[in-house]
Amino acid sequence: MTNNMKAEFKLISPEADILNKPLPEFKDEILPEGFTRTKIAEDLFVAMKQFGGIGLSANQVGLPYRMFVMGGHQDMEEGKARACWNPEIIEFSEETIQLSEGCLTYPLLFLQVTRPKKIKVKYTDNDGKEWTEDLDHMPSRVFQHEFDHMNGTDFTKLVSKFKLDRAKEKLRKLYEQEKKLAPKTVQLAKKIKREIEEKKTGVIKPNTDIIV
Ligand SMILES: [Zn+2]
């Protein structure tokens, strides 16, 4: 692949190995020839926007890099965007908050997840410069969600089985409704489900649901 070719990223299955084990520390020498941090981050941002998220981890599209991108949405920090390489969370607030979270890896599944409200984070940017930041509200939430992906875990592990089953049931009913609305029933419903999974449809409500 040459530099001016755009990478076509696809979301991979939540069962994929790369989403279920911690990513090793990122080192620049593991990038393929002709690729830079900036190039990877730019392509991930494009993919994130296409999928309708406000955060995307490299391993969600099958890339073995300990990094994620987040932001670029006008409703969050006035559109500030970050590419976070080797991210760390060095402090958590005792205060926690429950928010509705979604994940591009689990299309249209929303879970009420409780996490620390504020965090102090560290990461390096596309130039390798180290940043330490205090995050609160949505940026804090998005960072924590993506950070889970770095460690081979995700938001479904942070709720009870009861909560998870109930949310999945709600999602199943949503698909059923789509089926009822469609004239050719099952086949069409399957098509809709597939399209939702491929993120051709789907809704983003940035202030109420955080999809990352
Ligand atoms: Zn996610």
CA of 154 to the centre of ligand 1 (A): 6
Pair 120, 30 in one domain:
yes
Q: Is residue 113 part of a domain?
A: yes
Q: Is residue 10 part of a domain?
A: no
CA of 175 to the centre of ligand 1 (A): 21
- What amino acid occupies position 14? P
Q: What is the pLDDT of residues 111-136, one digit of tens each?
A: 999 999 999 999 999 999 999 999 99
CA of 71 to the centre of ligand 1 (A): 14
> Residue 170: helix, strand or coil by DSSP?
helix
Cα angle 177, 183, 184 (rounded to 5 degrees) comes to 100
- Round to whole Å and give the CA distance between 152 and 60: 10
The whole-number average pLDDT for the span 144-160 is: 97
- Round to whole Å and give the CA distance between 156 and 15: 12
> Closest Cα to residue 41, out of 60, 23, 67?
67
Which residue range forms the structural domain that includes residue 105?
Answer: 17-159
The catalytically annotated residue of 101, 133, 146, 176 is 146
Pair 168, 122 in one domain:
no
Pair 110, 200 in one domain:
no
Pair 100, 142 in one domain:
yes
Domain total in the chain: 2
The whole-number average pLDDT for the span 84-95 is: 98
Q: Is residue 5 part of a domain?
A: no
Q: What is the pLDDT of residue 4?
A: 47
Residue 71 phi/psi, 5-degree rounding, is: 95, -150
What CATH number did the domain enclosing 52 receive?
3.90.45.10
Residue 26 phi/psi, 5-degree rounding, is: -80, 135
Q: Is 95 tagged catalytic? A: no
> Closest Cα to residue 57, out of 74, 41, 72?
41
Pair 132, 198 in one domain:
no
In the predicted structure, residue 185 carries a pLDDT above the cut 70: no
CA of 54 to the centre of ligand 1 (A): 10
- Round to whole Å and give the CA distance between 189 and 183: 10
Q: What is the pLDDT of residue 97?
A: 96
**Can you give the pTM of this predicted structure?**
0.84
CA of 14 to the centre of ligand 1 (A): 10
